[in-house]
């Protein structure tokens, strides 16, 4: 059984996301079989463009006329060169269900849009293919096309101020140079990251209208990587031994030791969830933002304080999922500004307490607002990715 598990693990390590596999074939010098273009919609102002710095993926600035705040425009054209690969055997539908490689996206377009959203810290959504280059030699200009039924995304602001000011403003496409870091990921890590990126991406889009769901999705984005991160540090058996030592002792005492690996694999998604969440977040906690509000609107940026904050957030997420108790409304309000030009407040309330919608909370129970948590979530995910890329960088 141990050898079987080892074979499965080796297969998982070898498998990679389509977006990464396609880039690897480009790096190996393969000739492109074709290309396609699609549009990336966003509501931030885009500067610059990226053509040769991201392998087979080009990000071209359309330079649209900027509209009103919140106007979603086709700011970027993504041009993707794709490569031939060996035909895969059709799936054997007699085998048990397997969603280990599933992330909800339909194609590598969705993967690239999610990664772009995470790297830029902006609302990004992709259209369907708008131009197809099936014969690069004889039809270098391609053919216009319009497949699929994706609607143009929209964003609306319920209040006078945005709840997520961190997702507004302008971005430079040169930030996407860091997209190459995904090449360092193995199969499970790449799936975990694209799941997290898609959660972060969708969280930004709904943040202005459904803060409660945004909180849940941001916590889940962190959990996606936390689970993968811990598995790299410890085997499922070691995690079970650490979190449920009495169960392991009983199994060993009753000659059930041969079942421990199987039980550990089956319970891997349950064992020590809060512990791995805290460990991962604190391990990759970013430094304080360069621009911060007045001191009375700042949180205390220490590991100990963030540990307390993260415990409160995780508890609210558990109540939201299992007891249908939403996150406190004040934590999802638009952040307070002390004066014009200042950075937004970091705390969930600026008072000693807050009361909304038939509920009341002490200030200590409203430690941060949604805007700050969105900033920190993104940076934790990027810190983890950068750490792996640096750790696995090939020596020159």
Q: What is the pLDDT of residues 270-290, one digit of tens each?
A: 556 888 899 999 999 999 999
Q: Taking the CA of residue 181 as centre, how many other CA atoms within 13 Å lie in the half-sphere pointing to its CB?
A: 23
Q: What is the pLDDT of residue 6?
A: 47
Q: What is the pLDDT of residue 129?
A: 92
Mean pLDDT confidence for 342-350: 95
Q: What is the pLDDT of residue 75?
A: 94
Instruction: Output phi, psi for 126, to 5 deg.
Output: -100, 150
Give the pLDDT confidence of 165-185 residue by residue, as tens digits. Answer: 999 999 999 999 999 999 999
Given a cut of 50, whether residue 317 has pLDDT beyond it is yes
Given a cut of 50, whether residue 344 has pLDDT beyond it is yes
Given a cut of 80, whether residue 59 has pLDDT beyond it is yes
Give the pLDDT confidence of 108-143 residue by residue, as tens digits. Answer: 999 999 999 999 999 999 999 999 998 888 888 899
pTM of the model: 0.87
Mean pLDDT confidence for 290-316: 96
Instruction: Output phi, psi for 47, to 5 deg.
Output: -115, 155
Judge contact between 44 and 64, C-beta under 8 A: no
């Amino acid at each position: 059984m141990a050898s079987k598990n080892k074979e499965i693990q080796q297969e998982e390590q070898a498998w990679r996301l389509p977006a990464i596999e396609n880039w690897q074939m480009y790096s190996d010098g393969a000739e492109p079989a074709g290309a396609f273009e699609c549009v990336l919609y966003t509501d931030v102002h885009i500067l610059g463009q990226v053509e040769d710095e991201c392998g087979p993926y080009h990000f071209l600035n359309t330079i649209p006329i900027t509209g009103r705040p919140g106007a979603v425009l086709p700011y970027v054209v993504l041009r993707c060169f794709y490569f031939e690969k060996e035909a895969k055997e059709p799936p054997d539908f007699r085998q048990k269900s397997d969603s280990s490689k599933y992330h909800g996206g339909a194609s590598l377009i969705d993967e690239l849009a999610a990664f772009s959203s995470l790297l830029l810290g902006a609302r990004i959504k992709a259209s369907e293919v708008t131009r197809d280059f099936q014969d690069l030699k004889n039809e270098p200009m391609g053919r216009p096309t319009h497949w699929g039924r994706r609607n143009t995304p929209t964003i609306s602001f319920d209040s006078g101020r945005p709840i997520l000011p961190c997702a507004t403003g302008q971005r430079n496409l040169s930030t996407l140079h860091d997209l190459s870091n995904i090449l360092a990921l193995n199969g499970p890590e790449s799936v975990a990251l694209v799941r997290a990126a898609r959660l972060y991406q969708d969280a930004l889009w709904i943040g202005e209208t459904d803060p409660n769901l945004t909180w849940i999705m941001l916590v889940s984005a962190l959990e996606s990587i936390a689970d993968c991160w811990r598995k790299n540090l410890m085997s499922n058996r070691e995690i079970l031994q650490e979190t449920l030592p009495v169960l392991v002792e009983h199994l060993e005492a009753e000659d059930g030791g041969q079942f421990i690996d199987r039980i550990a694999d089956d319970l891997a998604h349950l064992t020590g969830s809060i512990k791995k969440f805290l460990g991962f977040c604190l391990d990759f906690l970013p430094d304080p933002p360069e621009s911060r509000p007045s001191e009375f609107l700042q949180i205390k940026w220490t590991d100990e304080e963030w540990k307390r904050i993260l415990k409160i957030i995780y508890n609210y997420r558990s109540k939201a999922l299992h007891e249908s108790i939403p996150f406190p409304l004040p934590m999802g309000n638009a952040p307070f500004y002390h004066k014009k030009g200042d950075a937004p407040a970091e705390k969930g309330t600026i008072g000693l307490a807050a009361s909304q919608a038939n509920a009341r909370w002490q200030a200590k129970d409203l430690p941060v607002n949604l805007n700050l948590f969105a900033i920190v979530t993104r940076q934790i995910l990027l810190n983890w990715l950068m750490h792996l890329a640096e750790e696995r960088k090939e020596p020159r």
